Amino acid sequence: MSYSGSYQTEVFRQGGSPFPFTVGGLEREAKSALPEKYFDYIAGGAGCENTVAANRAAFTRWGLIYRVLRDGIPADPGCELFGARLSMPVLLAPAGVGELAHREAETAAARAAAEVGVAQVLSAVASSSLEQVAQAAPHGTRWFQFAWPDDEKLARSLIARTEAAGYGAIMVMGDCYAAGWRTRELSAGFFPFDHCYGLGNYLSDPRFWELIGQPMDVQGDDIPDMSRVARSVAATAASTWNRVFAKPALTVTDIEQLRTWTRLPILVKGVCHPGEAAALIDAGVDGLVVSNHGGRQLDNCVAALDCLPGVVEAVGDRVPVLFDSGVRTGTDVLIALALGAKAVMIGRPWLYGLAIGGQAGVTHVLRCIHAELTSALTLTGHRRADTLSTDDLTRTALA
């Protein structure tokens, strides 16, 4: 899949766009489009949100070095990642409960990702089931974010469904095994899972229904109507999910076990410490994601970007290192790639796009990043993304 439109040209020809071009604009419009508690769930971070701010501030401490008198041939940020051809090294980060942003939830995001040629990492706590997402964009590149349930049969069922539905990799959520101190959620008194939001992958799983203790309300290939199913058993489904959602004592040994369950590439998300990176590679992982969960888990945390060079150094070229937390623009992508990330994921921006325009909103967000990344690559003297290095950066005076 390749994507080579010039978004600027198209926007000017159309006399503008209904969607904003700045991160601030996207966030403001999403805020006015959504009920306050839904917006706060998406936008919020842990504690005083110092980690959220630190993630963004870290980008301002790197400066890209502009290059002159190059041949000016437009760059192509296309890349290959785990056997998939992508239009740029950008993925939709796994973000749960898409229905808070838009009723088409992750299926709309799947169509947008396929349209632009990027990969979608589907959250374990998506509103749409992993089969619904696969059906929505059969030719898209999709990975599944695996939140290890505290029930082995449910864990194995989710992995088997991931393989059967054609997902290309499994991303283990390492960064959310304990609840963060989410002040906005607490203030709103709103935890989506207590209302059966975000249970798409659970309410479509036979083992989950066994755990609920009721016959499964969905037959064969039927796409479950989550809201109807959920209403009929809401309280039991929510408490069952709370009980089995995450195995608290997850260790490197579990990763070794997962290796025996699946042939799919395994990535672990949430790695910030170089020593942990080395141990995970020894356990057989195929990739790592440096992330502090967008500042939603631990407040007063070091910026994720500041953890990237150490992890990249520890890993060398043994496995690809991906990055997320704070990426908002094409030049942010460039900085992370220059620091050694093979690809980056964006979280909140795609949810804001979804909130304001469904599929078209997510497509817009991705096309903006693609266009800015293409322009910035050209202006830093590159034709491809994989030639970036720390040579393209300097620490700014604020460092």
Ligand X SMILES: O=C(O)C(=O)c1ccccc1
Ligand Y SMILES: Cc1cc2nc3c(=O)[nH]c(=O)nc-3n(C[C@H](O)[C@H](O)[C@H](O)COP(=O)(O)O)c2cc1C
Give the list of residues 6+ apart from residue 32 with CB closer than 8 angstroms, or none.
Answer: none
Q: Residue 246 CB: number of other CB atoms within 10 A?
A: 17
Displacement of CA 9 from its chain's centroid (Å): 29
Instruction: Give the footprint of ligand Y on residues 288-307 (CB under 6 A).
Output: 291, 293-294, 296
Q: Which residues pair with 343 in a beta bridge?
A: 322
Burial 122-149 (b: 16+ CB within 10 A, else e): bbbbbbbbbbbbbebbeebbbbbbbbbb
Site string for ligand Y, 312-351 (x = CB under 6 A): ------------xxxx------------------xxx--x
CB 169 within 8 A of CB 92: no
Q: Which of 287, 247, 314 is nearest to 91 (CA)?
A: 287
DSSP assignment string, 146-157: E---SSHHHHHH
Q: Is 293 a catalytic residue?
A: yes
Q: Which is nearer to ligand X, 340 or 353 (CB)?
A: 353
Q: Which is nearer to ligand X, 102 or 293 (CB)?
A: 293
Q: Does 145 bind ligand Y (CB under 6 A)?
A: yes
Instruction: Give the footprint of ligand Y on residues 243-272 (CB under 6 A).
Output: 269
Candidates 93-101, 226-234, 272-280, 380-388: pick the segment binding ligand Y (CB under 6 A). Answer: 93-101
Give the list of residues 6+ apart from residue 338 with CB closer than 8 angstroms, or none.
Answer: 62, 64, 388, 389, 390, 392, 393
Compute the distance between CA of residue 236 and CA of residue 202 in angstroms, rounded to an integer.
13
Q: Does 96 bind ligand X (CB under 6 A)?
A: yes
Q: Which is nearer to ligand Y, 201 or 359 (CB)?
A: 201
Q: Minimum CB separation from ligand Y for residue 311, in Å?
A: 15
Site string for ligand X, 124-163 (x = CB under 6 A): -x--------------------------------------
Among ligand X, ligand Y, none, residue 185 binds (CB under 5-8 Å by kind): none
Q: Which is nearer to ligand X, 76 or 299 (CB)?
A: 299
- Residue ranges of alpha helices (H) inside 7-138 are 7-13, 23-33, 36-43, 50-60, 105-116, 130-136
Residue nearest to ligand Y (CB): 347
Active-site residue numbers?
293
Binding site for ligand Y (CB under 6 A): 41-42, 55, 93-96, 123-125, 145, 173, 176, 269, 291, 293-294, 296, 324-327, 346-348, 351
Binding site for ligand X (CB under 6 A): 96, 125, 176, 293, 296
